A and B are shown apart, each in its own frame.
Chain A
């Protein structure tokens, strides 16, 4: 590959992960609002619309963005300006950078050309996540300290103490997994999870390391400052490190939180839930059977919209009775989209049955299918974070510290010890 090509491919990969991360922010915010609403027996956002299209509240995000951008940008007097302004940028940048080592598909092989489907495919892998993750504290400390207000200072101290405490468990809980797969490279860990245990169980991290997975998921929720560990924001007791921020600067913190969730779900997926891998279908098999997989994919593209069309028509009738304004047409618009999707799927089936995949086709299809699998898992774990937040109550600060230091840290050490013993045993039995 010549250098120019290499640059273009690298830039493309970097752009792709930024897009994925930024695109997931509105989806997660929408999850947050709708899930909380349904859990509290409300409807959630359903008013904002563009020409009658509401998309069950997704459009509300656009209203939010406009509001945040056009709000007055206040810098309170007395802040330590340099740190105050630096903090939101650091929070956002660091959150976005962490994703670089997470593989979103297996290495794409085009003849002699090998394109790793992760931005930074070095063998330091996992360590990169911890290294960049530990930078995250800078944003919080600079925000809490730079605002020069007692409330944000307290929020900053609590938040950074929490991050420092749970980082220990976070890194110790994955050591068991690293010992089993013998690598720090996330792509190799994901590929290792494609294997089968006892011939039928997918070797997902959660199967091999149940304790490690529980510890990791718990501490990663603490690291993203989400409920039940959202003490930094605990509205009823104290206001968090970003209390003195307004408009876009606040929006950056808000977005950074969701990017952190995306990163956390990405790491969780790659380490414990098979990453881009589909159970029982490793990359080689996927490439081999690319044709039926592609046709099945396209068939789903036809069948799902066709099924959805029935409730959509019923909804359309109800909307016509309810409203006289632009909202009447929403269901009709969605039906049109569904029909177009189904037609596109049919066209795809016709095209690919007449021209079967050849050359690099199967490899590219396999990469796309894996990327889709990864995105689906990523979105599900994004939803998982929201789900946990609206289910569990918040910890008290001393309970949080007790849990982190006295229970989870010893448990993660025990996990490493047991993993080592089992590995030795398995080795001696061979």
Chain B
């Protein structure tokens, strides 16, 4: 991947993820989240993962963030309704622990992989065909289990929504 593009996408991703947590308006948060997801997709595109690139846009930017902005639009909160809440101590510690653990994990990965140059990947790596092959042969059971869990989620949502009637 072209280093200029890599740093550009990386910078966009980091700066917008800061916006996600610091901006006050929920729509700004959602827009920043969309930017993070799109920048990550750009990184995938450059790192020989074309399928992941398109799915990242399709699922995260196109579906998840769209759902979030749709809900924000439905609620249509006024600025005065958005009160600042002080961060509770418990939540603060929980977030800190998670953040530290994640940083440790990333550092561990970088120190393990950093010295060895990455091996060249085969041309078919990350294409739709290669991923489909793996998904529907080696990982068929996990795939089916995940789809079943999603089905349970959908039915659960319907049950919760219909309970009042």
Residue of A nearest to B63 (CB): A134
The residues of B that contact A123 with a CB separation of less than 8 Å are 50, 127-129
The residues of A that contact B72 with a CB separation of less than 8 Å are 145
Asked if B128 contacts A184 (CB within 8 A), the reply is yes
- Which chain A residues (133-192) contact chain B, with CB distance < 8 Å? 133-135, 137-138, 141, 144-145, 153, 156-157, 160-161, 164, 184
Q: How far is the CA of A314 from the CA of B66 in the complex (A)?
A: 58
Residue of B nearest to A128 (CB): B54
For the complex formed, measure the closest distance between the CB of A89 and the CB atoms of chain B, giving whole angstroms: 13
Q: Confirm or deny: A304 has a beta carbon within 8 angstroms of a beta carbon on chain B.
A: no
Asked if A127 contacts B58 (CB within 8 A), the reply is yes
Asked if B73 contacts A124 (CB within 8 A), the reply is no
For the complex formed, measure the closest distance between the CB of B128 and the CB atoms of chain A, giving whole angstroms: 6
**What is the interface size of chain B, counting residues whose CB is below 8 A from a CB of the partner?**
24
For the complex formed, measure the closest distance between the CB of B61 and the CB atoms of chain A, giving whole angstroms: 7
Contact with A along B59-77 (1 / 0, CB 8 A): 0011100110110111010
Quick one: which of B53, B74, B129 contacts A157, CB cutoff 8 A? B74
Asked if A138 contacts B66 (CB within 8 A), the reply is yes
Asked if B74 contacts A131 (CB within 8 A), the reply is no
Q: How far is the CA of A197 from the CA of B34 in the complex (A)?
A: 45
The residues of B that contact A141 with a CB separation of less than 8 Å are 66, 69-70, 73
For the complex formed, measure the closest distance between the CB of A38 and the CB atoms of chain B, giving whole angstroms: 39
Q: How far is the CA of A164 from the CA of B71 in the complex (A)?
A: 13
Q: How far is the CA of A63 from the CA of B14 in the complex (A)?
A: 47
Q: How far is the CA of A184 from the CA of B117 in the complex (A)?
A: 33
The residues of B that contact A160 with a CB separation of less than 8 Å are 66, 70, 73
Residue of A nearest to B65 (CB): A138
The residues of B that contact A127 with a CB separation of less than 8 Å are 54-55, 58, 128
Asked if A145 contacts B58 (CB within 8 A), the reply is no
Asked if B34 contacts A138 (CB within 8 A), the reply is yes
Contact with A along B25-67 (1 / 0, CB 8 A): 0010001001000000000000000110111011001110011
Q: Using CB atoms and an 8 Å cutoff, list the residues of chain B in contact with chain A.
A: 27, 31, 34, 50-51, 53-55, 57-58, 61-63, 66-67, 69-70, 72-74, 76, 127-129
Across the A-B interface, the 4 shortest Cβ-Cβ residue pairs: A134-B62, A131-B57, A131-B58, A127-B54
Q: Using CB atoms and an 8 Å cutoff, list the residues of chain A in contact with chain B.
A: 80, 83, 122-124, 127-128, 130-135, 137-138, 141, 144-145, 153, 156-157, 160-161, 164, 184
Q: List 13 A-B contacts (CB under 8 A).
A: A83-B31, A131-B54, A131-B57, A132-B57, A134-B58, A134-B61, A137-B69, A141-B69, A153-B73, A156-B73, A157-B73, A157-B74, A161-B70
